[in-house]
């Protein structure tokens, strides 16, 4: 059995213990203090690496002075801004826990996450203040709101807070914490089944994963080391998601690079940002690659400075990747990562040696990581080229789901293997190929949509008797949520009514763009579990997919 495991062939990295992320970053600075770390593509607001770390200290001091205590949870409701990193690191330097929230969420969704995480504070922008105020009213535990912008009635101003005196402040020290067990990041993920849950990540998870994913097998030597010029990263993928947070924000700080932050995707500003910044590294998800391939605004000129395009978070077809490489009309490296919030988030990444010869694979296990492919029914470990569930074991595996031992037990087994709910196989070079998803999770443009969340809401509609939601394939969005509805006896119910019903409850990408179908019954196993596979198979057969 053990002989079939695929363990990383790269030399192990030691699990980092007793060090926080801000401490790791500070200790690693090598001459890039005064280089710009984050710059806003819209306003031009920018901060050097030194300024980010100074602001984080000021913000931490002010949070401690406002009465926040070690372990308190702070909801971070922000789009990508150049202050994001200082806010996050400030939360950590104050010994607090950050729970990043998608700012595009509706007030109801923000309220749910802040309630579930037990948040006692919120950091937000004026755009989302109304929603956060509603969440605060609904959650009396929330003591205060920090606003990044003009001072607002009843809010602390971030720009005032960062001026706080830091002398004698008791910042959180890794040496005085249990970095292997203290939760410091609480992002939300639905995992293999059910509603979104808080994923408990520690400093050790994040610092060690940062070393694992930036190993020289995967990325070039440090910017600013030797004759290298500073790497320029595009900061478009959201920092509230594990991918953007770890692979852009943290890597930017560790490597002394420059990230241009974009608040959201908008065609003109995206094209302008790329022409202005000439990124050397672009992190992308499928819809963005699709856009670049098909847009006349993108020619080989826009890729002139780009050395590497990195993708992940959802399947990317090899033909799309090859079209991108052709359009660039130069040698540009394409790398794919496989990650999951529960894995801090990286477990696989394309090594430099693949040199575009393994396009479509998401690479090899990162250092200090064991993996195996298991038969979904028997649980037996499978040999190379056989498809089964991907299981991962290593220092990046989360501590567990917040307040949900059952879900934790169902995901991390007694031997420490994290069952990813994804189906894949290995080739002879240890490269992993993802072929399917076993878990019910739907990925729309790389964003998570939990079928249970939509089902719960729809079940609350007065004319709905029963419901199932699945993800159906879509060329532009990756997947789209589609609902199967059983109407209550004698009720007259049309699609529009349900779309209208969901409109204000969930954010745009969770809307039922995959359609609604009225059915007599939902297929279920004797245990009551919805047989989503049957619905998807029938959907595909009907359309010849
Ligand atoms: O929990 P999550 O939303 O997390 C992510 C993380 C993606 C990352 C992270 C670091 C990287 O370096 C990187 O390239 C990508 O998405 O969703 C986890 C689920 O997303 C699907 C899969 O179903 C995971 O369980 N997924 C993630 N990466 C891939 C993928 C991929 N390369 N190919 C196919 N599906």
What ranges in 214-316 are assigned the alpha helix state H?
242, 251-255, 267-277, 286-294
pLDDT of res. 505: 96
pLDDT band at 269 (very low <50, low <70, confident <90, very high): very high
131-151, pLDDT tens digit by residue? 999 999 999 999 999 999 988
Count CB-CB contacts under 10 A for residue 305: 14
Q: Given this model, what pLDDT does residue 243 score?
A: 97
CA distance 207 to 175: 14
Q: What is the arithmetic mean of pLDDT over 10-34?
A: 96
How does residue 229 score in pLDDT terms, banded at 50, 70 and 90? confident
Using the mean position of ligand 1's atoms as its centre, give its distance from the Cα of residue 521 in Å. 33
Residue 223, pLDDT above cutoff 90: no
Cα 313 to middle of ligand 1, angstroms = 3
Share of the chain above pLDDT 70, in %: 99
Helix (H) or strand (E) run with residue 533 in it: helix 532-542
Structure tokens at 212: 């694992």
Ligand 1, residues at Cβ distance < 6 Å: 189, 242-243, 247, 312-315, 336-341, 345-346, 349, 362, 420-422, 434, 437, 443, 448
* Across 437-448, average pLDDT: 96
Residue range 253-282: average pLDDT? 96
CA dist 512 and 468 (Å) reads 12
Q: Which of 248, 335, 339, 433 to mutate for ligand 1's pocket (most ligand atoms within 8 Å of CB)?
A: 339
Distance 361 CA to ligand 1 centre (A): 13
Q: What is the pLDDT of residues 497-520, one digit of tens each?
A: 999 999 999 999 999 999 999 999
Atom of ligand 1 nearest to the CA of 441: 23
Q: Whose CA is nearest to atom 13 of ligand 1?
A: 337
Q: Is the pLDDT of residue 226 over 60?
A: no
pLDDT value of position 481: 98
pLDDT of residue 1: 86
pLDDT of residue 220: 80
Q: What angle do CA 193, 342, 315 make, to 5 degrees?
A: 75
For residue 450, pLDDT over 70 is answered with yes
Stretch 393-400: mean pLDDT: 98
Determine which residue's CA is closest to atom 33 belonging to ligand 1.
Answer: 315
Q: Among 200, 312, 390, 510, which is best to mutate for testing ligand 1, by the most ligand atoms less than 8 A from CB? A: 312
Strand order in the sheet with 364-365: 46-48, 36-40, 258-261, 232-235, 281-284, 308-311, 333-339, 346-349, 364-365
Is the previous residue joined to 345 through a cis bond, with omega within 30 degrees of 0?
A: yes
Region 286-300: mean pLDDT is 96
pLDDT in tens, 452-484: 999 999 999 999 999 999 999 999 999 999 999
Across the range 336-356, mean pLDDT stands at 98
Cβ atoms within 10 Å of 399's Cβ, excluding its own = 18
Residue 366's pLDDT is: 98
Nearest ligand 1 atom to the CA of 437 is 23
pLDDT tens digits, 79-91: 999 999 999 999 9
Of 517, 527, 526, the C-alpha closest to 469 is 517
Q: In this predicted structure, what is the pLDDT of residue 242?
A: 97
Mean pLDDT of the 242-251 span = 98
| pLDDT above 90: percentage of residues in the chain | 96
Across the range 199-211, mean pLDDT stands at 98
For residue 284, the model assigns a pLDDT of 96
- CA 446 to ligand 1: nearest atom: 16
Of the candidates 398, 399, 400, 396, the one whose C-alpha atom is nearest the C-alpha of residue 16 is 396
Q: Are strands 188-189 and 197-202 parallel, antiparallel or unpaired?
A: antiparallel
Q: What is the pLDDT of residue 222?
A: 65
Residue 115: predicted pLDDT:
98
* Mean per-residue pLDDT of the chain: 96
pLDDT band at 224 (very low <50, low <70, confident <90, very high): low
Summarize pLDDT for 157-186 with one digit per residue, the tens: 999 999 999 999 999 999 999 999 999 999
Residue 227 pLDDT more than 70?
A: no
Q: Is the pLDDT of residue 429 over 80?
A: yes
Predicted pLDDT at 188: 98
Ligand 1 pocket test: which of 193, 310, 313, 318 has the largest number of ligand atoms within 8 Å of its C-beta?
313
Which residue has the least CA distance to atom 17 on ligand 1?
340
Going from the Cα of 165 to the center of ligand 1, the distance in angstroms, rounded, reads 41
């Amino acid at each position: 059995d053990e002989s079939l495991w695929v363990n990383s062939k790269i030399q192990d990295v030691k699990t980092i213990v007793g060090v926080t992320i801000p401490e790791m970053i500070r200790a690693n600075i090598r001459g890039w203090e005064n280089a710009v770390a984050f710059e806003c593509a819209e306003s031009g607001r920018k901060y050097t690496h030194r300024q980010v770390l100074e602001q984080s200290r000021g913000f931490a001091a002010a949070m401690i002075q406002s009465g926040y205590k070690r372990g308190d949870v702070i909801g971070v409701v922000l789009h990508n801004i150049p202050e994001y990193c200082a806010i996050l690191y400030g939360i950590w330097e104050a010994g607090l826990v950050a729970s990043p929230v998608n700012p595009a969420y509706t007030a109801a969704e923000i309220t749910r996450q802040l309630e579930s995480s037990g948040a006692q504070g919120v950091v937000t922008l004026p755009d989302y203040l109304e929603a956060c105020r509603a969440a605060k009213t609904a959650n009396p535990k929330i003591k205060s709101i920090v606003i990044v912008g003009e001072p607002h009635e009843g809010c602390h101003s971030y720009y005032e807070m960062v001026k706080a005196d830091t002398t004698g402040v008791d910042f959180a020290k890794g040496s005085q914490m249990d970095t292997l067990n203290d939760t410091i990041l609480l992002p939300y993920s639905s995992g293999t089944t059910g509603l979104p849950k808080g994923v408990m990540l520690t400093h050790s998870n994040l610092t060690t994963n940062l070393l694992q994913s930036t190993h020289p097998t995967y990325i070039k030597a440090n910017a600013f080391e030797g004759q290298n010029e500073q790497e320029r990263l595009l900061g478009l993928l959201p920092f509230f998601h594990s991918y953007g947070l770890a692979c852009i924000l943290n890597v930017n700080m560790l490597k002394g690079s420059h990230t241009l932050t974009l608040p959201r995707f908008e065609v003109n500003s995206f094209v302008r940002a790329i022409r202005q910044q000439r990124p050397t590294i672009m992190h992308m998800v499928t819809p963005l690659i699709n856009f670049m391939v098909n847009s006349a605004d993108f020619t080989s000129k826009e890729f002139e400075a780009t050395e590497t395009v990195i993708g992940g978070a959802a399947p990317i077809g090899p033909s799309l990747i090859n079209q991108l490489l052709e359009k660039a009309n130069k040698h540009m490296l394409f790398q794919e990562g496989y990650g999951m919030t529960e894995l801090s988030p990286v477990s696989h990444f394309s090594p430099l040696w693949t040199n575009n010869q393994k396009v479509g694979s998401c690479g090899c296990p990162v250092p200090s990581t064991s993996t195996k492919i298991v038969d979904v029914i028997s649980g037996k470990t499978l040999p190379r080229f056989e498809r089964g569930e991907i299981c991962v074991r290593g220092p990046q595996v989360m501590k567990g789901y917040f307040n949900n031992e059952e879900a934790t037990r169902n995901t991390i087994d007694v031997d420490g293997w994290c069952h990813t709910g994804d189906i894949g196989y290995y080739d002879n070079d240890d490269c992993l190929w993802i072929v399917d998803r076993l878990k019910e999770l739907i990925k729309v443009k790389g964003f998570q949509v939990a079928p249970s969340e939509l089902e719960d809401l729809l079940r609350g509609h007065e004319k709905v008797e029963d419901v199932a939601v699945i993800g159906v394939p879509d060329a532009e969005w990756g997947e789209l949520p589609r609902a199967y509805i059983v109407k209550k006896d004698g009720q007259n119910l049309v699609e529009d009514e349900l779309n209208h019903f969901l409109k204000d409850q969930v954010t745009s990408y969770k809307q039922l763009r995959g359609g609604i179908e009225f059915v007599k019954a939902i297929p279920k196993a004797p245990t009551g579990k919805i047989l989503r596979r049957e619905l998807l198979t029938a959907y595909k057969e009907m359309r010849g997919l």
